[in-house]
Structure 1
Amino acid sequence: MSVLSVRNLKVTIPTHGEPLHAVRGVDIEVGAGETLGIVGESGCGKSVTSMAIMRLLPGRISVTADEMRLGDTDLAAMSERQMADIRGDRMAMIFQEPMTALNPVLTIGRQMSETWMRHRRGSKREALEAATDLLDRVGIPHPRERLGVYPHQLSGGLRQRVMIAMALLCDPQLIIADEPTTALDVTVQAQILDLLASLQQERGLAMIFISHDIGVVARIAGRVQVMYGGRTVDGGPVGELLGHPKHPYTRALLSSVPRRGMRWGRDTLGSVRWSEDAPEASS
């Protein structure tokens, strides 16, 4: 049985003129222990899709779907109070920029314990113990001491690990990771990807991993959906998609990934030319 099943998702944003159809007929299916990658350029509808699933979009924005289910739960039929019980518990989100997602005036321990107490109804002591265990699990040194610090006192990589720990705190069925490595350097990015893959396998989570970087998605996902202009234009198992892309936009994305020895020609997307024997750049 699928953990998440979405059929014909549409998101329409009102404007002063014609309404903006940000997402148009997107289908998503992800099972336990599976990672689905969603890739596409900025503005293609990736993050709006994830926010619609989490029911985090403003009320003036129209969200419709033929089906939007988390297991046996009809998400579209949930009231806001019922969704508040589900978010952070059965489904959770790792946001792109932890510095804006975390509350700057509350300590890490306060923010994590509030989440745990909201959904598990336990004591503050139990909440802090659970938070300490998760911070340790995601590789944060001296986790008990970190409970007393504020987000700005941590590096970008540590803040992202805190976000991952918060998302996993109540052992959700589904994790949506919205470009969680974009603001990180390549070394920390690799560590975060390895951590997510390890935790996903260990806990049997269903995960949706969103990125504009098809190389990053290919590293962590088993299946990939390519979005363009609010629609899904290509998709399939990651090896098949990379080896035999069907849509011109997918081929353009792949051709725009920098490769060692590239020599750039025309700057039109999809028209990149390179020579395998081009001289290496001097260091």
Structure 2
Amino acid sequence: MQANSTPNDDRTGISALVGFGAQARGASGRLLPEIWMQDGVKRVEQALARLLCAEDDGETELMAAMRYATLHGGKRTRALLCLAAGALADTSAHMIYDVGAAIEMMHACTLVHDDLPAMDDDVLRRGLATVHVKFGEATAILVGDALQAHAFLTLASLDAPGDNRVALVRELAQAVSAEGAAGGQAMDLSLVGKHVELDRIVAMHRMKSGALVRASVRMGALGAIAEDAAHAALYCALDRYSACFGLALQVVDDILDATADTATLGKTPGKDAAAQKPTCASIMGLQAARQFAL
């Protein structure tokens, strides 16, 4: 499925997708990845600031907390994966930043809820006090709920054909469903203090964090869902890549939880061991986990 094409649609590839000119390329003419990422992050954060904007009657505490949860830090990995997949698939540039913003809203929702006392009970996120610490537990619950709603509202409001919008909403909903992040979090909580096989941990990781990573790539590759074989092959390749990358991302997070400090992580280290949570790192050992992630 492709968004409607107009004479002003930007479908000239990755450099055009994120507004690159000569400044994005080195002397050899090669695209500089760090500039691509900086520009992509900037544009997604501009979209987030616009979409999470206070009404004319002023900013409520809820909206302030939503902006705090979403706009203060973060590598925007999922949004960048969406942008990169969109560039490869020639997804229309006029909508891709809002898609990336919706993904980041949903990611922030999962983090806010994961940090709650009833879940992981964390006090730091991205180097700042978690939302429930700063605004209170009740507000934090509402922040997660509202961010999820705003993510779907953003996708439903895209300037794109109805079939495309439905496909995007379905993809994101599935990623956080009982078969995705919510189910993975439930499995994570159920495994605390237990000795489990590696395949259970891998299955949990694929759901808890991997599902949203996979959806980020699939949503960006909207333009690759086309009739010709080349685009279909691209979509399948991106899907396989995202499944592997999502798992690797969580394994690395497990390793960092065991080895990094608070300044590096932006959150409390050693939480998995303290909570007796089995991880790839605890089951395989750090060195084997590093090799597994690679």
Calculate the TM-score normalised by the size of structure 1: 0.31
- More helix as a share of residues: 2
Question: Which is bigger in relative contact order (C-alpha 8 A, separation at least 6)?
Answer: 1
